């Protein structure tokens, strides 16, 4: 039997603290650009455009990092004596709460539940083959692995009762007994594939999507009242289309980054 805590550094700042830092950074960017506009006597419309671009970039990058930190701070994997591998995310069983206070409370409760599982329930339950089956999701197959800077994304098929579903797990580099977990996962890779490592991907869809976004961004900027190269009546329609295209491109990038396609 073995238990793997995904959070290899329990002393790290909680996700709510990172969310607060993200919010403060956006406020700082707004204040810095506002001061720059006053000192340099820049156009208000131009500063507003730069502000939207800067805040959006910081928000996207921060949200991705926050998602990784939150998912690893509330989850663990456990293997019983019979070789069954279970994925347990304590946050999945807690009610949704809004705001930073709700995020902080949910994460703290999830950590307390993980500690209780680690100290009391799991050591005894894992001694019995299949004792947790039906109570927690079981990892039945590994679909792909994707190495990234801070760890590895593992796309797995989970089963709970009669329902099977895919879930992407983030495994940080600093987590304890990481090599043993990889052996347990690789023993479950989908035999229909030649290897759990992803094959080379076709970059054409991503390149076309990126080119379309760049074109839409250029048209949006040209139609901004501060630039005035295109009729300003096109600005808000183009802004809406560009926003949707950026979201779709980010979803594609994130899925490819995680190895989900």
What pLDDT sits at residue 198?
Answer: 47
What pLDDT sits at residue 79?
Answer: 92
Residues 53 and 42: their CA atoms lie apart, in Å, by: 16
What pLDDT sits at residue 258?
Answer: 61
Residues in the chain: 261
Asked if 224 contacts 237 with a C-beta cutoff of 8 angstroms, the reply is: no
- C-alpha torsion 62→68→70→76, nearest 10: -170
Whole-number average pLDDT of the chain:
78
Q: In what order do the strands lie in the sheet with 151-160?
A: 2-5, 75-79, 85-89, 138-148, 151-160, 163-172
In the predicted model, residues of the chain with pLDDT beneath 50 are 10-11, 194, 196, 198-199
């Amino acid at each position: 039997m073995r238990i793997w805590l995904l959070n290899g550094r329990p002393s790290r700042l909680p996700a709510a603290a990172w969310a607060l830092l993200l919010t403060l950074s956006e406020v700082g960017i707004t204040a810095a650009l506002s001061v720059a506009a006053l000192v340099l006597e820049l156009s208000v419309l131009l500063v507003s455009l730069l502000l939207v671009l800067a805040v959006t970039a910081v928000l996207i990058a921060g949200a991705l990092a926050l998602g990784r930190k939150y998912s690893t701070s509330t989850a663990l994997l456990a293997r019983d004596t019979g070789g069954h591998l279970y994925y347990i995310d304590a946050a999945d069983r807690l009610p949704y709460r809004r705001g930073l206070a709700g995020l902080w409370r949910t994460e703290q409760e999830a950590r307390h539940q993980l500690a209780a599982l680690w100290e009391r329930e799991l050591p005894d339950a894992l001694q019995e083959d299949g004792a947790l089956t039906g109570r927690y999701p079981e990892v039945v197959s590994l679909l792909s692995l994707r190495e990234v800077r801070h760890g590895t994304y593992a796309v797995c098929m989970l089963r709970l009762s009669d329902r099977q579903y895919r879930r992407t797990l983030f495994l940080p580099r600093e987590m304890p007994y990481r090599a043993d977990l990889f052996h347990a996962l690789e023993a479950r890779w989908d035999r229909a594939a030649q290897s759990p490592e992803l094959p080379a991907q076709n970059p054409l869809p991503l390149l076309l999507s990126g080119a379309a976004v760049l074109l839409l961004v250029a048209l949006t900027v040209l139609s901004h009242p501060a630039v005035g190269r295109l009729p300003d009546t096109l600005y808000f329609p183009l802004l809406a289309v560009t926003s949707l295209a950026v979201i779709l491109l980010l979803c594609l990038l994130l899925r490819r980054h995680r190895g989900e396609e």
